[in-house]
């Protein structure tokens, strides 16, 4: 079940004049292919980015950016169980949990995702038992400082959506929640503060930056 590559049977060598014309014809045939595309501009496949930004759609499963989807009430499903942190091959995810003030149960405080070291292997999304994480195709992620690639994915610190749904009093629900911005809290990198971060992240007014003197000295989260 094997085959030899197509080799032409040994013919007597082509003379110089015939060889010359055969060579010329082979070149013209090749030119014909390119000429065909030259006169058929409809075959052009080049994408006109950024002109086509409006219509450019990435596939549903595109693994370009990790996100934590929040429902219409603004609640996420993360419980701070650290499973994604263990599954991450290179520690791009750091989960900082806290104890709830009233129920004393574990809940998420900061979900820190380092895009600069992420390999987009999708293991965190696959292993999450609560489907709290999702990869999406938002590919325009350029920033001017590497440290801006370290994100806080949760919009609030507090119980996950199912636990919050059980609390009926809206005032009580609000007391359980502390808002978190994209760049707020223990990040940026190794706790060092960075100019302009707050303006980029647009965190709510109520939130206080938790970077302290000790953090700046090099205590990593």
| Positions that interact with other proteins (CB under 8 A) | 1-7, 22-23, 26-27, 29-30, 32-34, 45, 59, 61-63, 83, 87, 89, 119-123, 126-127, 129, 135
Asked if the peptide bond before residue 188 counts as cis, ω within 30 degrees of 0, the response is yes
CB of 46 to other proteins, least distance (A): 9
| Residue closer to other proteins, measured from CB, 31 or 209 | 31
Give dist(CA 33, CA 40) in Å, integer.
Answer: 11
| Residue closer to other proteins, measured from CB, 67 or 122 | 122
- CB burial of 143-164 (b: ≥16 within 10 Å; e: otherwise) equals eeeebbbbbbbbbbbbbbbebb
| Residue closer to other proteins, measured from CB, 5 or 73 | 5
CB of 6 to other proteins, least distance (A): 7
Residue 142 in 3-state DSSP? coil
| Residue closer to other proteins, measured from CB, 3 or 17 | 3
Give dist(CA 150, CA 5) in Å, integer.
Answer: 53
- Answer whether 218's CB lies under 8 Å from 190's CB: yes
| Residue closer to other proteins, measured from CB, 117 or 212 | 117
CB of 88 to other proteins, least distance (A): 8
CB of 27 to other proteins, least distance (A): 6
List, in sequence order, the alpha helices (H) in 40-146.
83-87, 123-127
CB of 112 to other proteins, least distance (A): 19
- Answer whether 195's CB lies under 8 Å from 214's CB: no
Give dist(CA 46, CA 98) in Å, integer.
Answer: 50
């Amino acid at each position: 079940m094997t085959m030899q590559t197509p080799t032409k049977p040994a013919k007597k060598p082509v003379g110089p004049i015939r060889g010359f014309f055969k060579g010329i014809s082979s070149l013209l045939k090749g030119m014909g292919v390119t000429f065909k595309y030259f006169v058929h501009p409809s075959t052009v496949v080049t994408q006109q980015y950024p002109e086509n930004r409006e219509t450019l759609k990435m596939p549903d499963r595109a693994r370009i950016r990790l996100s934590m989807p929040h429902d219409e009430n603004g609640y996420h499903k993360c419980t701070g169980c650290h499973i994604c942190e263990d599954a991450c091959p290179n520690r791009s995810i750091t989960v900082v949990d806290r104890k709830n003030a009233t129920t004393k149960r574990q809940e998420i405080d900061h979900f820190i995702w380092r895009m600069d070291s992420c390999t987009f292997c999708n293991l965190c999304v696959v292993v999450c038992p609560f489907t709290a994480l999702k990869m999406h195709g938002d590919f325009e992620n350029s920033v001017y400082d590497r440290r801006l690639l370290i994100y806080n994915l949760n919009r609030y610190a507090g119980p996950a959506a199912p636990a919050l749904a059980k609390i009926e009093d809206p005032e009580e629900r609000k007391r359980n929640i502390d808002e978190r911005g994209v760049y707020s809290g223990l990040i940026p990198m190794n706790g060092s503060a960075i100019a302009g971060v707050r303006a980029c992240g647009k965190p709510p007014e109520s939130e206080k930056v938790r970077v302290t003197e000790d953090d700046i000295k090099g205590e990593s989260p």
